[in-house]
């Protein structure tokens, strides 16, 4: 039996997904630079949101983690290590490591705060003086992807916790005066259907990017999507094998972009133009400016460039700004169209 068939559950190949370019680009850029801040995907039911998110996680290369560590700690990057691993390193204790697939964690809608953050065993702490921690989903998602389907239906309190952890890279659990913290850096991906309600603007603003997807109307493209899905359902391993070369090419492209990222330059002139666009659109705060700069650098790295140019900014700026505009109930213009109009004027 070959390696492909040893997989416990076959995953639809990312490169086999037809259409939905905006969603795919947003996911790839967040994987290249997780500090972009995640992506909110809003669209109709049955448009392949969950399939695409699982596919990008499956595409990514394995990561090296410290064995017997609950938090997928990195072996050399202090920002991605738990405190116990740091202590072991400081005491010159040799760390054993292992390779794992990039974590892909689903947050169920009915999850409790304890399930998300983890719990401290108070009884053990008081009786034995030992901090005993049962990790939650934020620990399991460290250095991976945390996916929340129908995030617009999730309890606002949990959304706040998620966004705070995603922004700080740490999760802190406190109970009865006992505190435990651990690294929790992940790509936060939320999806939802606009018909089921919008996120509060102040929460929506915390997502780095916002991709809108619509049901494909073109008949020939719909047939192509159905045929591709049928082919996978009939023989998933043959489909995975068929796209293995494209998958490997994309994987190499992402790895190359990650290594290039730190050296990508964005000219001061372009930074001013980005901020000018944010100003004209009345975008509150500076998060829009920061995310657009990051995303443009990630896209330039993805294109194997050394410097960001106007075309890179144009490609990503709508994804970064459309959800940050103030909503006017009487406005008939789509927010994405409004961003494009201003971009065309400023970056003419």
Task: Catalogue the E-assigned strands of 136-169.
Answer: 145-149
Asked whether 221 and 21 are in contact (CB, 8 A), the reply is no
Q: Look up tokens 């416990």; give the residue.
A: 8
Q: Report the distance separating Cα 46 and Cα 226, nearest Å.
A: 12
Burial group, residue 310, by CB count within 10 angstroms (0-12, 13-18, 19+): middle
Segment holding 139, helix H or strand E: helix 137-140
Q: Report the distance separating Cα 280 and Cα 347, nearest Å.
A: 13
Annotated catalytic residue: which of 143, 185, 287, 297?
Answer: 287
The CA angle 144-150-153, to the nearest 5 degrees, is: 120
What pairing do the DSSP bridges indicate for beta strands 133-135 and 118-120? antiparallel
Q: Report the distance separating Cα 228 and Cα 177, nearest Å.
A: 55
Burial group, residue 13, by CB count within 10 angstroms (0-12, 13-18, 19+): buried
Segment holding 312, helix H or strand E: helix 310-321
Q: Report the distance separating Cα 243 and Cα 247, nearest Å.
A: 6
What pairing do the DSSP bridges indicate for beta strands 39-43 and 209-213? parallel
Q: Is 206 a catalytic residue?
A: no
Any idea what DSSP says for residue 102?
P
Catalytic residues: 287
């Amino acid at each position: 039996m070959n390696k492909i068939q040893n997989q416990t559950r076959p995953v639809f190949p990312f490169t086999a997904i037809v259409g939905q370019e905006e969603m795919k680009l947003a996911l790839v850029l967040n994987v290249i630079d997780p500090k972009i801040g995640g992506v909110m995907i809003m669209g109709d039911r049955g448009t392949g949101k969950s399939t695409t998110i699982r596919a990008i996680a499956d595409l990514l290369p394995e990561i090296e983690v410290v064995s017997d560590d609950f938090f997928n700690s990195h072996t050399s990057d202090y920002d991605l290590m738990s405190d116990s691993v740091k202590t072991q390193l400081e005491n010159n204790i040799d760390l054993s490591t292992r390779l794992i697939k990039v974590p892909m964690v689903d947050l169920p809608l009915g999850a409790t705060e304890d399930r998300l953050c983890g719990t401290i065993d108070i009884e053990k702490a008081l009786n034995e003086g030992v901090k005993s921690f049962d990790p939650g989903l934020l620990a399991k998602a460290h250095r991976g992807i945390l996916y929340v389907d129908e995030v617009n239906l999730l309890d606002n309190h949990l959304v706040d916790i998620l966004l705070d952890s995603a922004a700080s890279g740490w999760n802190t659990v406190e109970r009865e005066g006992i505190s435990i913290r651990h690294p929790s850096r992940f790509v936060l991906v939320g999806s939802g259907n606009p018909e089921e309600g919008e996120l509060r603007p102040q929460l929506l603003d915390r997502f780095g990017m916002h991709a809108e997807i619509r049901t494909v109307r073109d008949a020939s493209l719909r047939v192509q999507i159905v045929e591709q899905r049928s082919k996978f359902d009939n023989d998933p391993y043959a489909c995975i094998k068929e796209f293995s070369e494209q998958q490997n090419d994309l994987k190499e492209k992402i790895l190359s972009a990650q290594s290039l990222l730190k050296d990508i330059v964005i000219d001061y002139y372009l930074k001013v133009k980005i901020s000018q666009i944010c100003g004209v659109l009345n975008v509150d705060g500076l998060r829009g400016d920061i995310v657009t700069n990051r995303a443009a650098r990630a896209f330039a790295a993805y294109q194997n460039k050394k410097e960001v140019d106007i075309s890179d900014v144009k490609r990503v700026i709508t994804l970064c700004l459309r959800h940050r505009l103030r909503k006017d109930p009487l406005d008939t213009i789509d927010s994405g169209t409004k961003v494009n109009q201003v971009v065309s004027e400023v970056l003419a």
